[in-house]
Amino acid sequence: MGITACVKSQLNRTLFYHTINEDAVYCTLALDITLNQHWKLWKETHNKHYSDVEEHIRRAIWESNLKQVQKHNLQADLGVYTYWLGMNKFADLTVIEFAKMMNSYKVTMNDQRNKDRHEFTRNPTVKLPDTVDWREKGYVTPVKEQGQCTSDWAFSATGSLEGQHFNATGKLVSLSEQNLVDCSGKQGNMGCVGGEVNQAFQYIKDNSGIDTEDSYPYEDDDNQCRFKAETVGATVTGFNNIQSKNESALQEAVATIGPISVVIDASHRSFQLYKQGVYHEPFCSQIHLDLAVLAVGYGTESGKDYWIVKNNWGVNWGEKGYIRMTRNKRNECGIATSASYPLV
């Protein structure tokens, strides 16, 4: 936030906080002392600890987010929205801070590096089921957590490969995101600074495999490459891209192939604080994408089509780590803009 100082004063039993940065002085809304116990419980629940100065700033942001959550949920209860928000572990962050911390995916396709890229071939005669959920078929590992390392691209890649490996072998093996974070720089990835799903697939192809999660556990940080050929959990022969911005093509791939890596615009407060329901964000972009996730199915609820999407932020975010995102509304949040899966 560029904050260099935080000054506290008390007036009529209400605290006001003035935050000073290089450009201007901002005065937050008055803090509500009736929320003291709620703030304390929220910090305990999410294991939050701050310095004295940061405590004031985070409390002000938390209260601002709380007001937005309460307002939104009141309208959702009345049917204005199809989803609800919650005061999750990200509720002490501004949406700008959140986007910088959690979402760093940037699509910069490099045909030379991604030499084993192919295109998904559609079958015009295939009849697709109304609902698909690959979790029910054993294709999906439990929800993982990327922490503060922006390694969403690695989690999306392993998730898609875990599904394809299960389809080929009947064995669900959790694969190592840390292996990708540490070792796929030659393919263009930058560890916790960011990367791309297809470049992760290319690394696994070039490397003749990726290690298991058990043999190369996640560390939430960059480290030296420690890949071991004897602990490979899966291999790939290449990867397929799905026609960009075509939700029908993505639906066919999800229905007939398995979990598919997708990239979305997750830069909104509504995504940051999502709790449950069918997510619909009219300000989402189809092209400015910043978070790689995993489409594991689709369905319809009360006439609202949705995608079932696995995130990498732990089970305490969203619907136990998942989000249902609006489907068939002009490629909302760009879910079909950059979709792919590995070949095994």
Mean pLDDT over 312-329 rounds to 97
* Lowest-pLDDT choice from 85-89, 108-112, 219-223, 295-299: 108-112
Predicted confidence at residue 106, as pLDDT, reads: 61
Q: Residue 70 and residue 103: Cα distance in Å, rounded? A: 25
Q: Residue 139 and residue 173: Cα distance in Å, rounded? A: 10
Domain boundaries, the chain: 33-81, 95-343
Nearest-5° angle of CA 85, CA 91, CA 92? Answer: 165
Band (pLDDT 50/70/90 cuts) for residue 219 is very high
Q: What is the DSSP string of 204-216?
A: HHHTT-EEBTTTS
pLDDT tens digit string along 128-153? 999 999 999 999 999 999 999 999 99
Predicted confidence at residue 30, as pLDDT, reads: 72
Of 316, 318, 238, 204, which Cα lies nearest the Cα of 307? 318
Predicted confidence at residue 104, as pLDDT, reads: 64
Q: Residue 102 and residue 111: Cα distance in Å, rounded? A: 27
Between 304 and 52, the more confident residue is: 304
Between 269 and 6, the more confident residue is: 269
Residue 187 has pLDDT above 50, yes or no: yes
Predicted confidence at residue 19, as pLDDT, reads: 39
Averaged pLDDT of the chain: 90
Q: Residue 314 and residue 311: Cα distance in Å, rounded? A: 8
Residue 287 has pLDDT above 90, yes or no: yes
| DSSP-assigned letter for residue 30 | P
Q: Residue 144 and residue 176: Cα distance in Å, rounded? A: 11
Q: Is 160 in a helix, a strand, or coil?
A: helix
Predicted confidence at residue 113, as pLDDT, reads: 52
Q: Residue 299 and residue 256: Cα distance in Å, rounded? A: 15
% of the chain with per-residue pLDDT over 90: 84
Amino acid (one-letter) located at 175: L
> Scanning the structure block, which residue is given the tokens 């003035």?
18
Q: Which pTM value belongs to this model?
A: 0.90
Q: Residue 274 and residue 281: Cα distance in Å, rounded? A: 11
Sign of CA dihedral 276, 278, 283, 285: positive
Looking at the DSSP bridge assignments, the partners of residue 319 are 322
Predicted confidence at residue 108, as pLDDT, reads: 59
Q: Residue 188 and residue 105: Cα distance in Å, rounded? A: 13
Residue 9 has pLDDT above 50, yes or no: no
% of the chain with per-residue pLDDT over 70: 89
Between 15 and 74, the more confident residue is: 74
Of 166, 163, 158, which Cα lies nearest the Cα of 184? 158
Mean pLDDT over 114-131 rounds to 89
| DSSP-assigned letter for residue 8 | E
Predicted confidence at residue 53, as pLDDT, reads: 86
For residue 154, count other CB atoms closer than 10 A to its CB. Answer: 33
pLDDT tens digit string along 87-111? 999 999 999 999 888 876 766 555 4
Amino acid (one-letter) located at 172: L
Mean pLDDT over 115-130 rounds to 90
Band (pLDDT 50/70/90 cuts) for residue 6 is very low
Band (pLDDT 50/70/90 cuts) for residue 116 is confident
Beta strand extents in the chain (DSSP E only):
5-11, 14-20, 25-27, 83-85, 117-119, 132-133, 210-211, 232-234, 238-241, 260-264, 274-279, 291-301, 304-310, 322-326, 340-343
Cβ atoms of residues 245 and 329 within 8 Å: no
Backbone φ, ψ for residue 291 (5° rounding)? -145, 125
- Evaluate whether the domain defined by 95-343 bears CATH number 3.90.70.10: yes
Predicted confidence at residue 107, as pLDDT, reads: 63
